[in-house]
A and B are shown apart, each in its own frame.
Chain A
Amino acid sequence: MIKTEPILKANGIEKYFNDPVRVKVLDNICFEIQKGDFVAITGKSGCGKSTLLYILSTLDTDYDGQLWLEGKLTSGKTDKELALIRNQKIGFVFQFHYLLNEFTVLKNVMLPALKLGQKSKEEIEHDAIQNLKLLGMDQKALKNANQLSGGEKQRVAIARALINQPLIIMGDEPTGNLDNKNTDIVYDIFKELSTTFQQTLLIVTHDQEFAAKTHRTLVMEDGRMV
């Protein structure tokens, strides 16, 4: 079997916090994620797992080591180039939903694709409705984002993450703020994306139960992979 290029590759990533004293929060993190992987990163609170995710997602550029996405080095690129990478290759799901309250659900889902500007507005709208349908949210498409419940918001956030058919979806405690029922719904969605669409997923969570159900779990402790 030919070894395929990993979708994401971290090599010797180290990070320090300088305030109030210099502390090493990430120490020589090396790992790879292949296409279709459903990976969870777990660890105790404060072990650096969220910090790692921000680096992997290119939001945080202040680190040592190298990060490859699809075999291309992303370390040291400009703000504009990184914005394009995030727009095109990475889908985000946060703990606190982070929908834009000024827009409708549909517009929220459409925005990243409108930004990318590769498709016409009609096509994007069609794709967005498809994604919302997939997540059972198409009935709420024209509601304002702040009229939704927490679980619903999170499903819309997943629909938004999917809109540009990203290389990888990254979740930062996506179920951290949800009750059990909604946690299960979100897990099922991720599971379906992984099995049906071969979607690559990287989820940071402290929920051991959730992590156990993924394909692969990376455990972190005091800034190190164990």
Chain B
Amino acid sequence: MVRVNLDIAKSLMTARWQQTGIAAVGVTFSITMFIALLGFMNGLNSMLDGLIINRTAHVRLYNDISPTKNQPIAIGTDSTKEHHFIHSLKATSVRKDIYNAPQIMQALRQDKRVTGIAPRLSAQILYNAGSIDITGVLNGIEADAESNLFHFSDYISRGEAKDLNSIPNAVILGKGVAEKLLVEPGDVVQVTTSLGNKLSLKVVAFFQSGIAEYDKVQSFVSIETVQKLLGVSKSYVSDIQVKLTDITLAPAYAKELSAVYQVNAEDIQTANEQFETGSFIRSLISYAVGITLLIVAGFGIYNILNMMIYEKMDTIAILKATGFSGADVRSIFMYIALSIGLVGGLVGLIIGYVLLRIIDTIPFVTAALPTINTYPVDYNPVYFFIGITFSLITTALAGFFPSRKASIVDPVTIIRGK
């Protein structure tokens, strides 16, 4: 019985294939745009997020320089009733490194929730450029861990990140720093620490993050070089950057680490809240536009089905007279609507995919993003799934009222009316 109804639906559609085709093209167009819009928008989104989030640790452990929370004067007096005029026990003997860093790192490496860790040791330095000193930050890193976890090597605009390990006293200069110092890879730069220690570093590569302010200050050397420069032991580490298997665990994990190891722990969500908000709004806009397109296509289907039903009054009457019930007639027209949605939607998915492929090849060169040469595109299958689901839902809704109208057509008035 279902097959008979399907068969009739098919014949009705093929008899007016131009009309049916136009309705399907409407769906195809909106699904195509939906896919292209979401894929492109989210490609841009993840690129922009990547600017910060890819390079940022999910949890960062460090020792903040801050005065003690338990000021001596507060001990033994009731601060709710009295005002303290003396509350200035400054931070003097605070250590800048993380206490027990090797043990913490070993424990973190064994934790299943952790993908990997990268220790850092930063030092404030001055680049010596002729008679002028330029302030900067020298980041001691483990180049391999940084590249694996935080895409460090993606931001190297000239040279190789791994040269940090193989060449002694190698430095990767920020692009801005290099421009100020007028150096090329292979040249040597002089740096001075705040304590007056001097060191010659060999430039092996340039680093370009896309954020100019950052590139004017930051340079990277191996962690051992900084330890040597500061004259500290091999276990002296100021930051431990942790990457988790699941980024959503970060806030809870940060709290846990902070409590267990008595260090400051900052999670990525707290550190970069504005990026999530931005991504969310951009996604929201693309979904809204996509769904609007689909609704417009839905009205197209609604009109065409309504027209079809007026044209096919005789057919409906004869179907009813020969034993098709109202429910059968309704299902015939629902099949028509859903077929339009399914076929139009599937073709839309294919064209949408092709369109994304084309966008993917369009050159997009910007000095800020050295690793990106074409427009970024996200081929997430979720968009395709949402696209086809929405096209079916919209066409089902668009078909519902015309189908119901067809099902309540009174055959007597049609037959008598001739």
Contacts and interface: CB of A to CB of B under 8 A. Distances in A.
Interface of A: 50, 54, 57, 59-60, 79-80, 82-84, 86-88, 92, 94-96, 98-103, 107, 111-112, 114-117, 160, 164, 172
Contacts of A82: 325
Contacts of A114: 3-4, 7
A107 B328 CA distance: 18
Contacts of B1: 115, 117
A83 B321 CA distance: 8
Contacts of A102: 11-12, 14-15, 315
22 contacts: A57-B321, A59-B411, A59-B415, A79-B325, A79-B326, A83-B324, A84-B323, A86-B323, A87-B324, A94-B321, A96-B415, A98-B317, A102-B315, A103-B11, A111-B8, A111-B322, A114-B4, A115-B4, A115-B323, A115-B324, A117-B4, A160-B322
B69 interface: no
Interface residues of B, number: 28
A83 B418 contact: no
Nearest to A83: B325
Interface of B: 1, 3-4, 7-8, 11-12, 14-15, 314-315, 317-328, 411-412, 415-416, 418
Contacts of B11: 100, 102-103, 107
Contacts of B325: 79-80, 82-84
Contacts, number: 81
Contacts of B12: 102
Nearest to B11: A102
B306 to A, nearest CB: 18
Smallest CB-CB A-B distances: 8 pairs: A87-B323, A83-B325, A102-B15, A102-B11, A98-B318, A114-B4, A86-B323, A112-B322
Contacts of A172: 415
Contacts of B327: 79-80
Given A86-B323, A115-B4, A101 B15 contact: yes
Contacts of A117: 1, 4
A173 to B, nearest CB: 10
B416 A50 contact: yes
A83 B412 contact: no
A83 B324 CA distance: 6
A75 to B, nearest CB: 16
A99 B322 CA distance: 11
Nearest to B321: A92
B320 A83 contact: yes
A57 B320 CA distance: 11
A59 B412 contact: yes
Contacts of A107: 11
B321 A59 contact: yes
A94 B3 CA distance: 27
A95 B418 CA distance: 9
Of B318, B319, B326, B411, most A-chain CB atoms within 10 Å = B318
